[in-house]
Amino acid sequence: MTDDELRTRGKANMQAVYGWDVDHVEGSFVEYTIDHLFGRVWAEGNLTVKERRLLLIGLAAGSGLEDVAGLQLDAATRLGELDADDLRTIVVFLAHYAGWPRAARLNMEVEKIVARLAADDDQP
């Protein structure tokens, strides 16, 4: 695979994961993120974006990275993969494996997303 093909695939996978495009790529961190993480890692094997996202959410929540989990949960709701009930189910499920304090922090992220979803539903 050429560098250009890898960059194109990486950008397409980032769009599928987060719902936004990367227009300007500058610096090796961003290049590695697009070319390696999204061009290779998110493309390897047969797992769907949703399956990979759920793995990442569990790992992030279990590691105390509620902000990372929150980013993934937010993207999943914006892209129609998960709804408010799913988010709350994830919190309860992870509480039993990641611990209540981590789940409580994740729940704060989830409730912000749920509130935003409710506000979006109220818009004409």
Is the confidence at residue 124, as pLDDT, over 70?
Answer: no
pLDDT, average across residues 10-39: 88
Task: With cut-offs at 50, 70 and 90, classify the pLDDT of residue 114.
Answer: very high
Q: What is the mean pLDDT of residues 23-43?
A: 89
Please give the model's pTM, rounded to 2 decimal places: 0.86
What are the structure tokens assigned to 110, written together? 């989830």
- For the chain, list the domains and their CATH numbers: 3-43 (no CATH), 49-122 (1.20.1290)
Of residues 20 and 67, which shows the higher confidence score? Answer: 67
Query: Phi-psi region for residue 20, left (φ > 0), alpha (ψ -120 to 50) or beta?
Result: beta
Residue 86 has pLDDT above 80, yes or no: yes
